[in-house]
Structure 1
């Protein structure tokens, strides 16, 4: 009897220890984090949390609307949403999105109290913005993650418990945006206008996903699709690519003034149930220049000289 009692105590202590164990975490590259298999499914499962470093590519509010509204009850409507991309440096040729939503409880698998009230959401925004990071800064993000339609996002796993908060640390301010990589539509699509998919992520959409790229000399199929959160289709005459428009203050009805053909600069994204396709270029803002569809920051990054070509400041 006494032996059985001690055995029960040991089992209880082990169970409590397992329940309270810290989640596993490791610093990984974006490329490791975004690895896929032959069907396009994400394969990273080495830890429960990850630590990633990189350069911030966009202002969150230019991509999704962070305005809270806890009166919404429609299923799958998360109300306020907040997202930005940051990309790896050097040989870490990949990038990752960081996402947060307000009303997770409008998802059918989340409990009714699983969302944020307006006040709680504002507090969360204040917590995240305390790092005071901006486009072109080098940051470190630590958090849980989920795969979503072809990419692996750092997020809260639809869980508003504080133990699922992700954190953002400012490592270095003003590092500068990477120069957009020039990519042709023929690198993203084949002759039948199908997306190029590579499990090794060395070519095609997977190679450029989550990164700042530039596509030159394209025409828009239907300019009437222009507007906040709209989707344009651009073409080189053979291949096509969706261009997802953000909600920056330069994208509004009547603001389309691009002379065709034009260049476009944005973040290559993937969001599709077809995990071997569904790539799109996300342009979060437009500065009205008439020649390049891009935010001002992204257009200036394209015009910046490579470090080796920049002139040194005169010595005092």
Structure 2
């Protein structure tokens, strides 16, 4: 099957030809006179820090102008967050809110002096939004497929965008919602509202995650820390790759890659009672982690409001690492070993499991393992680790 998208405005035209292989559409020919009106005309570069500026109530404080260009490293593959499978539905009372295919990415600042990150979003059935109710504002399945392909591939090299690529986004419009300013189409399918992505450098590399705990983003009473200056709290990490340590899952119903965006939420907590929503990606992370774990992902905000943005922070999870409980492994009869790093431990011994004594033999650190050697000159001797801090 072939799909041909032909978008034009005046004499400007972009044509994309696709073929279906293995159930998916791939571009085979791209003929570009001018990608669309406005593309390439944005001369001003914007920073993520300025674009995501907020007022005291969490609303947008950005006072820039469109169009603009902005650069960053792509933090996710285009299919990780939302399902962009075409699903056109004309407006009627039963389809209100059904947006069909949806597409979203996040990219993080890399320029010197810049900080933060920004999301790009588009949907297929804008006409089904409750305040629009107009089928002409929605994309047909063919037009939507062409839009997705246009954003998933670099127009010059046909490189398929993936996490770790350095990209440049040209934005003709942006809207504030959910606590952050998003680059989008302002709910129009008119090409003048399109945004465009070009490749700056493939495989640039993901940024190192900033390591935080829930105490960095929540108060002791479990309310969010909101700081208009963005020096602390959730605003300090919004749109960035982070690692949150020492979590346990409180709810697991959303730990399922096949659920909808809204249905992929779980609640995690730390040992102090602070909690944070975790949103599962559209790929498997394995079974819900048992016990304490660390989570890597994109720090996001979904306040659910266009008029305030002081709450609703969450983590879009991309990787989890269970924390292993230190345990003594006895090898070669008299060698005791346990993982190095983290909390400090000392070895204790007993001959009757009642009276315990510190084993003062030296600890040898080899790579990421602590080793203690002990003479086996006793009828029986038991060992254990005791945490010292």
Query: Do Structure 1 and Structure 2 share a fold, with TM-score over 0.5?
Result: yes
Distance 2:248 2:118 in 1: 28
Match of 1:265 among 296, 308, 330: 296
Q: CA deviation at 1:258?
A: 2.1
1:16-67, Cα deviation, whole Å (9 max, x unpaired): xxxx999976311000000000000012132022211000000121100001
Q: Which residue of 2 aligns with 1:280?
A: 314
Which ranges in structure 1 are unaligned for 5 or more consecutive residues?
1-19, 293-316
Shift of 1:286: 4.9
Superposed counterparts of 1:215-234, under 5 Å: 215-228=244-257, 229=261, 230-234=264-268
* Cα distance change of structure 1 residues 91 and 24 upon mapping to structure 2, 3 Å threshold: closer
Partner of 1:81: 102
The answer for the alignment partner of 2:147 in structure 1 is 124
Question: Match of 1:314?
Answer: none
Q: State which structure, 1 or 2, has the greater radius of gyration over its C-alpha atoms.
A: 2
TM-score (normalizing by structure 2): 0.65
User: For residues 199 and 242 of structure 2, what CA distance do their matches in structure 1 show?
Assistant: 24
1:35–1:42 CA contact under 8 A, matched in 2? yes
Q: Is the 8 A contact 2:249 2:266 kept in 1?
A: yes
Q: How does 1:29-178 map to 2 (within 5 A)?
A: 29-71=47-89, 73=91, 74-89=95-110, 90-110=112-132, 111-131=134-154, 132-143=160-171, 144-178=173-207
Cα distance in 2 for residues equivalent to 1:102 and 1:50: 24
Report if aligned partners of 1:189, 1:204 keep a CA contact under 8 Å in 2. Answer: yes
| Alpha-carbon distance in 2 for matches of 1:256, 1:190 | 30
Distance 1:27 1:67 in 2: 32
Alpha-carbon distance in 2 for matches of 1:286, 1:181: 14
Q: Which has the higher contact order (CA 8 A, sep 6+)?
A: 1
Distance 2:51 2:225 in 1: 20
Q: Which moved more, 1:45-54 or 1:152-161?
A: 45-54
Displacement of 1:112 in angstroms is 2.6
SS in 2 for 1:60: coil
Which digits, 9 at most, give the CA deviation of each residue in 1:116-170, with x for residues without a partner? 0000001111211231221101110011100111000001111111111111010
Pick closer, same or farther for the CA change 1:99–1:21 going to 2, 3 Å: closer
- Give the distance between the partners of 1:173 and 1:216, measured in 2 at CA: 30
TM-score of the aligned structures, taking structure 1 as reference length? 0.79
The whole-number CA distance in structure 2 between the counterparts of 1:174 and 1:112 is: 39
CA gap of 1:164–1:183, structure 2 versus 1, over 3 A, is same
Deviates more, 1:256-265 or 1:59-68: 256-265
RMSD: 2.2
- Identify the residue that residue 298 of structure 1 maps to in structure 2: none
Q: Given the alignment of the two structures, is residue 237 of structure 1 paired with residue 271 of structure 2, yes or no? A: yes
Once residues 277 and 238 of structure 2 are traced to their aligned partners in structure 1, the CA distance between those partners, rounded to angstroms, is 14
Contact 2:38 2:192 survives alignment (8 Å)? no
Checking the alignment, whether the CA contact within 8 Å between 1:218 and 1:262 is kept in structure 2 is yes
Q: Which residue of 2 aligns with 1:4?
A: none
Distance in 1 of aligned mates of 2:89 and 2:182 = 27
Which protein has the bigger helix share?
1
1:240 shift after superposition: 0.7
**1:28 maps onto 2:46 in alignment:** yes
Q: Distance in 2 between matches of 1:69 and 1:57?
A: 26
SS in 2 for 1:280: strand
The gaps in structure 2 that reach 5 residues or longer are 1-36, 155-159, 325-389
